[in-house]
Amino acid sequence: MKSLVDRLASYAEYHRDKRNIATHFVGIPMILVGTQAALARVGIGPINAAVGATGLATRYYRALDPRFGNAMGVVLGATCAVGSTIAALPFPAFAGVAGGLFVGGWALQFLGHYFEGKKPAFLDDIKGLLDGPLFLLAEVAFALGLAPELKEEVERRAGPTRWGKVAATDLAAAAAA
């Protein structure tokens, strides 16, 4: 298994544009909640696939790094609770909310990668789907001044974040297309 720094640096190589990162801060939680809402419909009450997926993902993150893994467990527990609340809605409302979150989240992801000028990381490594939420947690930690050695190593490998070169007119043209 790759280390925490390997996973983060690999993912970061696809995410150096600050606008891309910003879209991910909205899109990834939307995708997580939408997915967990769908998974929470599989099972009975509190014993459902969302809880199982949360447990398995947390185990994966803890194997990478106990501190980050525990923090990811808290984050995933919260998104699982929100997803479970959505799953309890009547089917039409559940489908609209969960589907809207999932599709809208992916739309934001692809908009971000338009800014970046690179394809999403998961297209080269499927674990990129698990690395996205971890990357956001690491970005929050870095912004708070936590884990400075980790930040330094990730940036040494992937480069610093930057503002890209896509103009606002390009964004308007992409939205119109």
Please name the residue that has the structure tokens 């934001």. 108
Mean residue pLDDT of the chain comes to: 93
Which 3-state string (H, E, C) describes the chain?
CCCHHHHHHHHHCCCCEHHHHHHHHHHHHHHHHHHHHHHHCCEECCEEHHHHHHHHHHHHHHHHCHHHHHHHHHHHHHHHHHHHHHHCCCHHHHHHHHHHHHHHHHHHHHHHHHHHCCCCHHHCCCCHHHHHHHHHHHHHHHHCCCCHHHHHHHHHHHCCCECCCCCHHHHHHHHHC
pTM of the model: 0.89
Dihedral sign for Cα 75, 68, 28, 99, please.
negative
166 pLDDT more than 80: no
Q: Where are the domains of the chain?
A: 4-176
Q: How confident is the model at residue 170 (pLDDT cuts 50, 70, 90)?
A: low
- Condensed to tens digits (0 to 9), the pLDDT of residues 88-126 reads 999 999 999 999 999 999 999 999 999 999 999 999 999
Length of the chain: 177
169 pLDDT more than 60: no
Query: Mean pLDDT, to the nearest integer, of 123-143?
Result: 96
Give me the amino acid identity at 109. Q
pLDDT at 71: 98
Token pair of 173, please? 């043209």
- Condensed to tens digits (0 to 9), the pLDDT of residues 42-97 reads 998 789 999 999 999 999 999 999 999 999 999 999 999 999 999 999 999 999 99
Q: Considering the chain, what percentage of its residues have pLDDT values greater than 90?
A: 88
25 pLDDT more than 60: yes
Please tell me the distance from the alpha carbon of residue 73 to that of residue 113, in angstroms, as a whole number: 27
128 closest CA partner among 50, 31, 48: 31
Q: How confident is the model at residue 1 (pLDDT cuts 50, 70, 90)?
A: confident
